[in-house]
């Protein structure tokens, strides 16, 4: 699929600009295997870059302007790097925002003509936005000649999304899109940004299961969870819940009110599960990884209370599917996607039976993607 998307952006570039592009870049979307709602608690996450990406075919311009055509929107946008203004809710804000953040960091940017195409579904929780930001950063690297430091680029992409686009995301999405490696997931310490590659267990694949439900009202529920986590950290006298071990939590939990205690228990145990998941993966132990994913879902459902019926049903259907090793919701919750670890040789059949079971139970049509861990943002040619 990605090869054809690469061809498509090259051909469209040729048609629109009358010559071949001088460079092609891509940056992937992502799925988080485990470590949910731990990022803003300074904790650990374990995402992998998927084989779906934002692509940009481009060639440099000398006049400080950027023009970009989006295949997804069938629309062009254009701006001057020296005079950028906000145009709320437009897809080109991700391009401007990234340019703004790079310039704020002191980088001198040259413009370009580009065509972008994306096979990360937009707005489905697989972070097409971070993939687009990191592809744009690579495009500017091509025309402006700075050196690619994944953590620095991830922070600037996050800044673009936080401060220009106005979405309060953590660092995970940009970090994995910038630093992913084929065959691997990435254990990220959200406090220090230290990151380590961990291999996917042999003979397994990751399946993303989109419930076809979208999070409504997520902003308020999300802010409420953040506030509860902050209150719990304050109670334990630490900067963030990442600094509380399971033993420390158990020793004092009875002094907390029930809701705060449940929220904190999720975060504290999820950090531990994420660390254990990385150990299991290094040992090639798919079974333990699957059990940890199952436990993560139960914790998100019962303690953090961020699942919805659709997520709970699709996870149940997945667990009944032949070849399933573990399954959980992924992302912020209240809708969106689940993720399952599945035996490679039965994955195609798994997607068919689970999709049929889910549709029967909910009357909703899910989308299932068999994914392979891919490279992070790169200059393809």
How many Å apart are CA 223 and CA 235, to the nearest integer? 18
In angstroms, the CA 200 to CA 301 distance is 25
Is-catalytic flag, 257? no
Cβ–Cβ under 8 Å, residues 335 and 216 = yes
Select which of 39, 173, 210, 357 is catalytic: 173
Which residues have a Cβ under 8 Å from the Cβ of 37 and sit 6 or more positions away? 225, 229, 266, 267, 270, 300, 304, 306, 332, 333
Dihedral sign computed on CA atoms, order 4, 125, 34, 172:
positive
Question: By CB under 5 A, which span of 39-47, 121-129, 215-223, 280-288 interacts with Mg ion?
Answer: 121-129
Give the one residue of 129, 204, 296, 374 binding Mg ion; rule: CB under 5 A.
129
132 near ligand ADP (CB under 6 A): yes
Binding segment for Mg ion (CB under 5 A), chosen from 23-31, 119-127, 273-281, 312-320, is 119-127
Report yes or no: 154 and 179 within 8 Å, Cβ to Cβ: yes
Q: List the one residue from 38, 41, 67, 70 that touches ligand ADP (CB under 6 A).
A: 70
The site string for ligand ADP over 138-177 (x = CB under 6 A, - otherwise) reads: -----------------------------x----------
CB hemisphere CA count around 371 (13 angstroms): 35
Q: Which CB sits closer to Mg ion, 60 or 170?
A: 170
Q: Does 228 bind ligand ADP (CB under 6 A)?
A: no
Q: Cβ distance 344 to 183 under 8 Å?
A: no
Site string for ligand ADP, 91-130 (x = CB under 6 A): x--x---------------------x-x---xxxxxxxx-
Enumerate residues 50-69 that contact ligand ADP by CB under 6 A.
54
Beta bridge partners of 378: 26
Q: Cα(213)–Cα(126) distance, rounded to whole angstroms?
A: 14
From Mg ion, ligand ADP, none, interface partner of 288 (C-beta below 5 to 8 A by class): none
Given the rule CB under 6 A, which residues bind ligand ADP?
Answer: 54, 70, 72, 91, 94, 116, 118, 122-129, 132, 167
Return the active site residues. 173
């Amino acid at each position: 699929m990605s090869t054809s998307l690469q061809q498509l952006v090259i051909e469209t570039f040729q048609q629109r600009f009358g010559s071949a592009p001088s460079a092609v870049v891509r940056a992937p979307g992502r799925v988080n295997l485990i470590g949910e709602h731990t990022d803003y608690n300074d904790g650990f996450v374990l995402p992998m870059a998927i084989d779906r990406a934002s692509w940009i075919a481009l060639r440099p311009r000398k006049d400080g302007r950027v023009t970009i055509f989006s295949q997804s929107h069938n629309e062009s946008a254009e701006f001057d790097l020296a005079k950028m203004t906000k145009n709320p809710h437009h897809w080109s804000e991700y391009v401007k925002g990234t340019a703004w953040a790079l310039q704020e960091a002191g980088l001198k940017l040259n413009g370009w003509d580009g065509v972008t195409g994306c096979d990360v579904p937009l707005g489905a929780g697989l972070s097409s936005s971070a993939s687009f930001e990191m592809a744009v950063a690579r495009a500017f690297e091509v025309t402006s000649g700075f050196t690619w430091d994944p953590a620095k680029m991830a922070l600037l992409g996050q800044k673009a999304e936080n401060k220009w686009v106005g979405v309060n995301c953590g660092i995970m999405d940009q970090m994995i899109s910038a630093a992913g490696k084929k065959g691997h997931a990435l254990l990220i310490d959200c406090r220090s940004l230290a990151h380590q590659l961990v291999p996917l267990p042999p003979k397994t694949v990751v399946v993303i299961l989109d419930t076809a439900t979208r999070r409504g009202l997520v902003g308020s529920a999300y802010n409420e969870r953040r506030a509860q986590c902050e209150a719990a950290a304050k109670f334990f006298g630490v900067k963030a819940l990442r600094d509380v071990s399971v033993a420390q939590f158990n020793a004092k939990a009875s002094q907390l009110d029930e809701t705060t205690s449940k929220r904190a228990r999720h975060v504290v145990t999820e950090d531990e599960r994420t660390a254990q998941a990385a150990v299991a993966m290094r040992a090639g132990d798919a079974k333990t990884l699957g059990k940890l994913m199952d436990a993560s879902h139960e914790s998100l459902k019962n303690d953090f209370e961020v699942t919805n019926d659709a997520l709970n049903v699709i996870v149940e259907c997945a667990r009944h599917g032949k070849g399933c090793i573990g399954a959980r919701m992924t992302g912020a919750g209240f809708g969106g996607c689940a993720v399952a670890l599945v035996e490679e040789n039965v994955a195609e059949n798994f997607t068919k039976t689970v999709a049929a079971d889910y549709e029967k139970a909910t009357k909703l049509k899910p989308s299932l993607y068999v994914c392979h861990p891919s490279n992070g943002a790169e200059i393809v040619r």
